[in-house]
Amino acid sequence: MTRYLVHFNATRAYLEAGYKPKAASAGASRLLRNVKVQAAVSEQLANHGIDPNSIKISVAQIALGSDIADFEPYLTGDKTLDQLRKDGVDTSLVESVWETTRTYADESSATTRKIKLYSRMTAMGLLARVLGMVSEGRVHSGQVAGGAPGLLITAAGMRDMSDEELGRLAAAAGLDQPDGADREGGGQVGDGPA
């Protein structure tokens, strides 16, 4: 179980625990269905603060969290990401950061910063599935999570939804959505040519 919690690959953990490779996938699957193993894994995850609710909250933060505009002080070179974090900006929403400095012949320089947030669409789709609002490949009418009447949306259908429609979906799920849909931005700072 300890090896499984390192990489969440059941077959690999099964082999690392010393079991024979023959039928490792089936054996690993059988172990993961064992109630005692499931309880031990859940307990270890809970000891690290990982439970279904914390995962839902994390996905909701990505789906509905900070706007790229929150990172403008970093993009313009006025603040570091650490300073933004201290100011209350949720920097865990950042997927990647690029920073490039160019030095020109006249010895001037310009730094270009780019930042990309985790995909709002991907997180919104995952959140809708977790909340029981989406069914893969089928559209159902009737009741959604919590027994509320509604319509379940296919994952493919979510990709075609506008930000306004996603906002209504978030509101229906009881989640608040900040203004702004732009999730990627860039800026240049320096005294060199633009």
Q: What percent of the chain has pLDDT over 90?
A: 17
The tokens describing 39, both together, are 């309880």
Between 42 and 156, name the one with better pLDDT: 42
**170 touches 63 (CB < 8 A):** yes
Q: Quick one: pLDDT at residue 21?
A: 82
Please, are residues 70 and 52 in contact by the beta-carbon 8 Å criterion? no
pLDDT digits (tens, 9 = 90+) for 107-129: 999 999 999 988 888 888 888 77
Does residue 130 or residue 107 have the better pLDDT?
Answer: 107
Q: Cα(63)–Cα(35) distance, rounded to whole angstroms?
A: 33
Categorize the per-residue pLDDT at 58 as very low, low, confident or very high, splitting at 50, 70 and 90: confident
Judged against a pLDDT cut of 90, whether residue 73 lies above it is answered with yes
**Mean pLDDT, rounded, for 54-82:** 85
Name which of 35, 44, 33 is nearest 3 in CA terms: 44
Q: Which residue has the higher pLDDT, 55 or 100?
A: 100
- Which is more confidently placed, 11 or 6? 11
